[in-house]
Structure 1
Amino acid sequence: MTIIEQGVLHIFRLRQFYLNHLKRKMFNKIVVLYSAVMIVLFAIAATLVYQYQTQRILREQTDANLKSAHVLNIYLSRQYESIQNIFQQIYGDATLSDELIYFLNNEYESYLKYRLDLYTKTGEQRLRSFNTLLKNYLEQEPSAKSVSIYSYPNDFYMHISRTNQQLNNESGSKSKWETWFARREQHNWDTMPLNELSGSAPGSSARSYSYSRELKDPWTLERVGMLNVEFDARQISTWLESRASVKGRIMVLNAQGTVIYDSEDVYYGQTYPYHLEPEKAGDWVELDEPSKVNMLNVGNAGLSVVGIVSKSSIEENTESLRTGLILVTLVFMAASFAITFTIVRKFSKKVQRIIRSMNRIGEGDLSTRIQMSGEDELQQISRRFNDMGDRLEQYIDKMYTSEIKQKNAELVALQSQINPHFLYNTLESIRMKAYFVGAKEVGQMIYSLSVMFKNMVKKSTMVTVEEEIDMCSVYLDLFRIRYEGRLETKIEVDPEIQSLSIIKLLVQPIVENYIVHGFRPLEDNNKISVRAQGAEDRVVITVSDNGTGIPEDKLIQIRQTLDKVLQPPDKGYRSIGLMNVHERIVLNYGSDYGVTIRSTEGQGTEVRMEIPKLRKGETT
């Protein structure tokens, strides 16, 4: 047996199972449908609970991450303020600033002599110095590892730590650190290179970051050196663990995007590869993976604290929740199925009886009624159904039949309303032509009139588009002969719609309106065009002229009448033909079709008719 044959066999078996156990057994169908609904509801409920719990966990972790970011923000703000306090003390005390400038501008031996002379002059036992100020700072700031002061003029630097102090004046030092100091002139915060200014032991992997600021002579504003404070990044981790429950990732970035602290130690010392926007804080951002981002600026320090909660960390915390929800949902589904099966089974017999009666009604026997004893809900359904059947038969007999009769009567009445009006104007045109010209062209006009009579006396109310336009052309020929040289006509018909069906005498009343109301008999440039074309599922017939047009107030009244805003006009109304055409279109084809009109007084009028594309014998 081929694969195709096996597939056909499986489809046949499934169909037989559906016919035998579902389609023909209401009991099984109700159980299956109700169970399916309950499964969907339980699944939706479980999903909503899971989403709620996920959002709660996400919110908790994001809040915890934000709290950690706030704690670190306070920590870094204090660091920055303490450093700025040092500079304020140095520049606020003339003795300290003069001493520091002298130290940077002279050899160390000269500086010692300067200190000795200063001590001798003042006579103070404890003379304040920048060295003492920096050592006190290191004792009070546990996160600071060391302070280094670099002299631009003399190419040396002093390294001060908690345990020692050393002066380095090795050759080549300036060129060696020139690039690094040039970069520190641009931004204050940065990571520290290992084994250099910090004095780290070779092979040490301790992470450090530092704050640097240039020193200037307060009198000349000349750049004389740089002060660099080195901090131990491990103190940040200790601070966070002691004051907050760290959730997610915490990083500190300087103004150029360099990472000076990374709780996961991945991007330390590197430029962070992703652009973070403060206005998107709290939104999902595509980083190494989709993550929630909290971003805080550390005052005026030029640092940003970034907290990141990754989507994978959220999924790890919700894995056990997801497993538990699945198990609980399965248990509830099984219980729901068992309860449904027990309850619905009691109504199986009555339902089968209703099905048999409904099958007979479905076959077209509207006289069939459901007979059922009792006073339960199923009996009420059968009684209501019987009442509905009675009303349906009455409605068909009363409304449908009377509607057909009424429609035919209206069509006949509207058709008869057009004919006398049309014949009167046509005969009057022939009479006037005979009076003014004599019998010279009467024969041609009588021939045209006979063609129109022949079309009008046909009992059929439907003709082809070609026949309707031909009749309109013959009608125009009568007036073209009467007003020789003063009327120009143009007829265009799309060949694709010539054989389509249309109501008889739709176009002629519109043309007649032009002849009676818009034609200018004293002028020789009168023009009228009739164009019939297809537009998707519609036939569009446009009659346009360059006649006298319609005044604005009268045009508004006509449009309101077409839209049923005003009552239909009486027989003396000048646009009775236009209203007649519109009503017949709506009556036959529905309110989606009809007549629209545009006109400018003194320039002309355009009437547009839209009907559906129907071939002979077709109905809307």
Structure 2
Amino acid sequence: MNFKKRFYLAFVGFILLPLIGLGWMSYEVSSRILKDQIGQHMLDTQDAINLNISSIIGEVNLFTDYVITSETVQNYLMRQEWRFTSEKVMMENSITRLLFSYPFTYDFLLFNSDGDQLYFIKPMNVPFHILEAEKSFQEVKGRKGAPYWIGPMKNQELVGEGHSLFTIGRSILNPNTLETIGYLFLHVKPEMLNKTNRIAQNSESEWLILDEQGSIIYSVGNELTSEDLSMYKKGDDGEVGGSTMHQRADGKEFLLTYSPTINDWTLVSIKSWESVNAQIEPIRKFTFILVLVLLLLFTIFHRTFSQKLLNFVTILKGKMDQTTEENLKVQMPDFKEPEFQTLSKGFNDMVKKLKVMIELVEEKQKQKQQAEFKVLQHQINPHFLYNTLESVNALASLNKTDEVQRMVTNLGKLLRISLKGPYEITFNEELRHVTSYLEIQKIRHSHRFTYENRIDEDVKKLRILKLILQPLVENCIEHGINHEAFNLISIRAHRQKDRLIVDVEDNGPGFSNESLMNLRNKTASTNNHGHGVLNVHERLNLYYGIGSGLMICSSESGTIIRINIPIRSEG
């Protein structure tokens, strides 16, 4: 992909898409804030509705407090016999007037302890003993005079079919003995909540009430009257409240808030998502227009300023591609714009200087590598030469002429390979070299160890870097000779595809963990344990490159040092 395509792709990726993303994010954030504000407004409205409901319910509670403690009701319920029927009728009329003094009273039922009832419009349509077994009646009875509210559609036994009324039930107690002397069920018109309805209308939302089972007992509006909303009822732990999205069966969505209210009921407010989106629509339009305007401005800027820069960068990129192909004769053309001309001249000067610097660096790197290799090569010769001459001197002092002759002969072979010739020799020559070294060491150490060579025939003519086996077997001898278990050095070599694998194994004490870590970190502070090994590893790295070198596997029962190098040629 050329630079121009990448430039336009970058324009899309770093300007166009982020701009659209930023616009979308701004819309989402502002929409979310607005939705949160709407949800909070609904919660605040719901709190106002709840407070209003509590106030209205409290007002009815106080009214029924007055009724059940009034002298008229108390005397009526405790009266066993009536001298005159007219007296009873007068008292019943007084009770009726008292109960209808509350403007939203629809009807009432007043029972004495024997189950006799007093009503105004319609008597109860079930016998008293059946009513007494109902859960709602048991709740009233168990509250010992405290109010208990029964919602519409849950009080059919008391008000009959076809009536949507709230019912408050109260046990009536004798103030002296606190015994139950009767029961009052006051049926209240739902119009008592008209003021609450106006609060909801101002917030453009609807509201409803769920009973303790999650059934709808009162609803303003009919958006969700056929829905199962039991998941929003007050739980057994008393925790309820929050806001959420609710989807109707036909797919229409609503923003819904809910909170607890009186009598273990739940107050739910709903607002259609369409009305919420209608308030968000101006934000959506503004964001869309803003993104379009910014895109237009970016396009004009690109046409005016970016095109020349793009052409210059395309030419510069082409010239730089040529320099990466080792064409250091490339030159940039002249430009009218001063900035482009300065950059062009700077590029041309840089290419000229780069050519000179590369030539200098290559020459210095070559000299440095040769110097490092020679230093490592010569580090070996004095080391084993000193040890050998020391052994020859000791044997000569003991008049062991034959062993002195053998050692001197082998030493001559060692020096012939070490001091002369190219860096590479055949593997067979390297093997003869290390064999000469082992023969010297066997004499020096009174034949305390032996050695064996197991070399594949197809390996012997391969050319390898010289003097890589001698430091390894020297390490085996120097650090194993003082241990009784050490008595064998084994050299094995085989070909593995395009690589040569050589294993030098001994049955000595092995490397310590500290020595292995020091070798791994390529440090010289190994207490003279493995210095020659590190030397060989660095020579192999310098000569064959990264990936070649030594791998050490060591334990208390012995050590295997593996040489892994590429095969270059055969002798």
Q: Do they fold alike, i.e. is TM over 0.5?
A: yes
1:74 is matched with which residue: 28, 48, 51? 51
- CA-based RMSD: 7.0
1:135 is matched with which residue: 66, 75, 99? 99
Give distance in 1, aligned partners of 2:255 and 2:506: 67
Per-residue deviation, residues 160-207 of structure 1 (Å, max 9, x unmatched)? xxxx466537437607963665688999666432782463663x5x4x
2:159 match: 199
2:280 match: 318
TM-score with structure 1 setting the length? 0.57
1:389 match: 351
TM-score with structure 2 setting the length? 0.61
1:573 is matched with which residue: 528, 536, 546? 528
Tell me, yes or no, if the aligned pair for 1:520 and 1:548 is still in contact at 8 Å: no
1:67 maps to amino acid:
D
1:366 match: 328
1:366 is displaced (CA, Å) by: 1.6
Give distance in 1, aligned partners of 2:72 and 2:489: 103
1:382 is displaced (CA, Å) by: 0.9
Structure 1 residues 311 and 265, CA gap change in structure 2 (3 angstroms): closer
Unmatched segments (≥5 aa) in structure 1: 1-17, 104-110, 492-500
| 1:519-538 superposed matches below 5 A | 521-522=483-484
Which stretch of the first structure deviates more once superposed, 311-320 or 221-230? 221-230
Aligned to 2:349, the other structure's residue is in SS state helix
1:6 match: none
User: Would you say 1:53 and 2:30 are equivalent positions?
Assistant: yes
Tell me, yes or no, if the aligned pair for 2:551 and 2:561 is still in contact at 8 Å: yes
Structure 1 residues 589 and 235, CA gap change in structure 2 (3 angstroms): farther
User: Would you say 1:242 and 2:205 are equivalent positions?
Assistant: no
Give distance in 1, aligned partners of 2:246 and 2:351: 63
| 1:477-516 superposed matches below 5 A | 513=475, 515-516=477-478
Per-residue deviation, residues 372-412 of structure 1 (Å, max 9, x unmatched)? 25562211221232233234323322334423442343344
Tell me, yes or no, if the aligned pair for 2:111 and 2:117 is still in contact at 8 Å: yes
Give distance in 1, aligned partners of 2:393 and 2:72: 124
Give distance in 2, aligned partners of 1:254 and 1:43: 48
User: Would you say 1:178 and 2:134 are equivalent positions?
Assistant: yes
Give distance in 2, aligned partners of 1:186 and 1:546: 96
1:171 maps to amino acid:
P
2:460 match: none
1:71 is displaced (CA, Å) by: 1.4
Structure 1 residues 486 and 49, CA gap change in structure 2 (3 angstroms): same
Give distance in 2, aligned partners of 1:608 and 1:224: 107
1:410 maps to amino acid:
E
Tell me, yes or no, if the aligned pair for 1:31 and 1:340 is still in contact at 8 Å: no
Aligned to 1:365, the other structure's residue is in SS state coil
Aligned to 2:51, the other structure's residue is in SS state helix
1:61 is displaced (CA, Å) by: 1.4
Give distance in 2, aligned partners of 1:508 and 1:276: 89
Give distance in 1, aligned partners of 2:199 and 2:182: 37
Per-residue deviation, residues 279-309 of structure 1 (Å, max 9, x unmatched)? 99778667668876655444x8534445566
Over the matched positions of the two proteins, sequence identity in percent amounts to 19
1:402 match: 364
Tell me, yes or no, if the aligned pair for 1:562 and 1:579 is still in contact at 8 Å: no
Aligned to 2:102, the other structure's residue is in SS state helix
2:303 is matched with which residue: 341, 350, 360? 341
Structure 1 residues 414 and 486, CA gap change in structure 2 (3 angstroms): closer
| 1:288-303 superposed matches below 5 A | 294-298=257-261, 301-303=263-265
Give distance in 2, aligned partners of 1:280 and 1:456: 95
Unmatched segments (≥5 aa) in structure 2: 455-462
Aligned to 1:390, the other structure's residue is in SS state helix
1:266 match: 224
1:63 is displaced (CA, Å) by: 1.8
Tell me, yes or no, if the aligned pair for 1:518 and 1:549 is still in contact at 8 Å: no
Tell me, yes or no, if the aligned pair for 1:559 and 1:597 is still in contact at 8 Å: no
1:10 match: none
1:30 is displaced (CA, Å) by: 6.5
Give distance in 1, aligned partners of 2:44 and 2:74: 43
User: Would you say 1:378 and 2:340 are equivalent positions?
Assistant: yes
Give distance in 2, aligned partners of 1:199 and 1:99: 24
2:31 maps to amino acid:
T
1:498 match: none
Per-residue deviation, residues 347-370 of structure 1 (Å, max 9, x unmatched)? 798778767766765764322222
Tell me, yes or no, if the aligned pair for 1:64 and 1:247 is still in contact at 8 Å: no
| 1:441-460 superposed matches below 5 A | none
2:28 maps to amino acid:
Q
Give distance in 2, aligned partners of 1:504 and 1:185: 111
Structure 1 residues 172 and 217, CA gap change in structure 2 (3 angstroms): closer
Give distance in 1, aligned partners of 2:32 and 2:536: 65
1:49 maps to amino acid:
S
Give distance in 2, aligned partners of 1:96 and 1:488: 127
User: Would you say 1:168 and 2:168 are equivalent positions?
Assistant: no
Aligned to 1:337, the other structure's residue is in SS state helix
Tell me, yes or no, if the aligned pair for 1:295 and 1:307 is still in contact at 8 Å: yes
Give distance in 2, aligned partners of 1:149 and 1:426: 129
Give distance in 1, aligned partners of 2:320 and 2:184: 97
Structure 1 residues 192 and 604, CA gap change in structure 2 (3 angstroms): farther
Structure 1 residues 60 and 416, CA gap change in structure 2 (3 angstroms): same
1:51 is displaced (CA, Å) by: 2.0
Q: Which has the larger radius of gyration?
A: 2
Tell me, yes or no, if the aligned pair for 1:528 and 1:545 is still in contact at 8 Å: no
Give distance in 1, aligned partners of 2:417 and 2:491: 24
2:230 maps to amino acid:
Y
Structure 1 residues 606 and 391, CA gap change in structure 2 (3 angstroms): farther
Tell me, yes or no, if the aligned pair for 2:442 and 2:448 is still in contact at 8 Å: yes
Structure 1 residues 89 and 303, CA gap change in structure 2 (3 angstroms): same
Structure 1 residues 422 and 340, CA gap change in structure 2 (3 angstroms): same
2:152 maps to amino acid:
M
Per-residue deviation, residues 566-588 of structure 1 (Å, max 9, x unmatched)? 8x449x73442454466568768
